[in-house]
Amino acid sequence: MCGICGKIHPDSDRVTETLIAGMCNTMAYRGPDAEGLWCSRQRDGSGVGLGHRRLSIIDLSEAGRQPMCSEDGSVRVVFNGEIYNFKTLRNELKLKGHRFRSNTDTEVIVHLYEEEGLAACRRLNGMFAFALWDCTQRKTLALPGSARHQAAGLLLGRRAIFVCFRNQGDFDRSGGPETNGRNSPSTLFGL
């Protein structure tokens, strides 16, 4: 079982590779095969970071490393679980001109999102959790559990997700998000 994490904060200085690597380290037991992270400063000064601990199952090559991105880098995703119908979806996407660099179900999420946007979630059959950052639209999609019977948006399902809104945007590792009664556009998740 892989582990995924990430953070979005209005101040990019609060989203560092060190922070994301630390989040990944707390779940090293979930993915002993590899660690990957991506951080970016957005045009408005905000920051986005995604992290992944990998347990290699489907594609054991380096091409299956995460966070994974689209060809142009505009879509980034971290994923845990299994999409049962990914081969069917992959074949459909290839017929539409999408090029794949790996044999993973993760990459299907990237291309399906490029093709169908948020509606892509309804086509995924499996048990999974993922977080996707759309650099162009500046949107985050965090989807745990099966998407088949859930509406679009931030969905809560079979896997645990923590979303923290607060001024400092830090994670209290003693048991979950610590909000201290503050609400601001800072998001942190760990799956």
pLDDT digits (tens, 9 = 90+) for 27-65: 888 877 778 999 998 888 888 899 998 777 776 777 878
**Of residues 2, 39, 69, 164, which has the active-site annotation?**
2
The verdict on whether 24 is a catalytic residue reads no
Q: Where is pLDDT greater, at 11 or 191?
A: 11
Q: Give Cα separations from 156 to 14, 105, 114, 185, 191 (angstroms).
A: 26, 21, 23, 19, 11
**Residues comprising the chain, all counted:** 191
> What does the buried/exposed string (b/e) look like for 157-182 if buried means 16 or more CB atoms within 10 Å of the residue's CB?
bebebeebebbebbbeeeeebeeeee
State the total domains in the chain.
Answer: 1
How far is Cα 129 from Cα 185, in angstroms, rounded to an integer? 22
pLDDT of residue 164: 41
Token pair 């560092």: residue: 16
CATH classification of the domain holding 111: 3.60.20.10
Q: Which domain holds residue 92?
A: 3-190
- The mean pLDDT value for 116-121 works out to 89
How far is Cα 130 from Cα 28, in angstroms, rounded to an integer? 17
How far is Cα 176 from Cα 115, in angstroms, rounded to an integer? 35
Q: Which amino acid is at 51?
A: G
pLDDT of residue 116: 93
- Geometric angle at alpha carbon 174, from 24 and 180, rounded to 5°: 105
Q: DSSP code of 132? A: E
Percent of the chain scoring above 70 in pLDDT:
74
